[in-house]
């Protein structure tokens, strides 16, 4: 089943009279349960593509389907609903709320989605166990290492049980060992939950974990199927 379908998508950014074509007619399909890396040098278009899939931006032309919906036809509020209920995000700089504990950061999307206190507690504790941080539930981000903060961010992304997780350079600010732990946790959760993961990276440490590698260059997909470490 297709989770993401990209059809002839372009994205042009305009600043004054200067135009930059970030995507030049990308067509791509991602199936349910994939663990896919979007790779390419800086400026290749991989982050722009993630933003379009995540309903954070709109294409200049073409169409983007997520979960069977043409999200290019949704209004601002509908795109926000799509992000809140169906897509989880993992960012390079963790993006945790600094005044909240690890528990409260993971709980936040469940609060926004109206879950009961009992539902929230059960889900948060389940996820903190899954990322090996149950004992750090009360710690704020500044009391956690970078790797631990990213693991909290993974738990938060999974909290509302999305069908799709988007990760932009998830190991860029981590050392080798923490990057390895983050990728192993993401791969384990992909296998156990069936959630589709798409991550943008140029980090060989990340690429080696991908089950599929999609290569972009100059705003084009030059290798749609790729060769990850697994078929």
pLDDT of amino acid 226: 60
Residue range 130-169, pLDDT digits in tens: 999 999 999 999 999 999 999 999 999 999 999 999 999 9
**Residue 38 parent element (H or E):** strand 35-39
pTM of the model: 0.90
Phi, psi of 106 (to 5 degrees): -70, -35
Of the candidate CATH numbers 3.40.50.2020, 3.40.50.300, 3.30.450.20, 3.40.50.150, the domain formed by 34-58+76-223 belongs to: 3.40.50.300
Chain position carrying tokens 């032309």: 61
**Residue 28 parent element (H or E):** strand 18-31
Enumerate the domain spans of the chain: 34-58+76-223
Residue range 68-78, pLDDT digits in tens: 999 999 999 99
Q: pLDDT exceeding 70 applies to what percent of the chain? A: 97
Average pLDDT over residues 36-40: 94
d(CA 182, CA 174): 9
Statement: residue 227 has pLDDT above 90: no
**Cα 22 to chain center, whole Å?**
19
pLDDT of amino acid 231: 37
Closest CA to 61 of 4, 2, 6: 6
pLDDT of amino acid 60: 95
Residue 217 CB-half CA count within 13 A: 4
d(CA 129, CA 64): 35
Statement: residue 108 has pLDDT above 90: yes
């Amino acid at each position: 089943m297709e989770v993401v379908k990209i059809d002839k998508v372009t994205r042009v950014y305009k600043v004054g009279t200067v135009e930059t074509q970030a995507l030049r007619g990308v067509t791509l399909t991602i199936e349910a349960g994939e663990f896919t890396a979007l790779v390419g040098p800086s400026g290749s278009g991989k982050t722009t593509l993630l933003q379009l899939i995540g309903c954070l931006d709109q294409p200049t032309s073409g169409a983007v389907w997520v979960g069977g919906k043409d999200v290019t036809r949704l209004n601002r509020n509908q795109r926000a609903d799509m992000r809140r209920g169906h897509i989880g995000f993992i960012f390079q700089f963790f993006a945790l709320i600094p005044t909240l504990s690890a528990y409260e950061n993971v709980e936040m999307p469940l609060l926004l989605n109206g879950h009961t206190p009992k539902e929230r507690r059960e889900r948060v504790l389940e996820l903190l166990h899954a990322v090996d941080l149950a004992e750090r539930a009360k710690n704020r981000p500044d009391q956690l290492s970078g790797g631990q903060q990213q693991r909290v961010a993974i738990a938060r992304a999974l909290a509302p049980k999305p069908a799709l997780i988007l990760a932009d350079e998830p190991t860029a600010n981590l050392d080798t060992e923490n990057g390895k732990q983050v990728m192993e946790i993401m791969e384990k959760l992909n296998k156990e939950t069936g959630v589709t993961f798409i991550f943008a990276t140029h980090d060989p440490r990340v690429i080696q974990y991908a089950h599929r590698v999609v290569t972009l260059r100059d705003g084009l997909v030059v290798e749609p199927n790729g060769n990850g470490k697994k078929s």
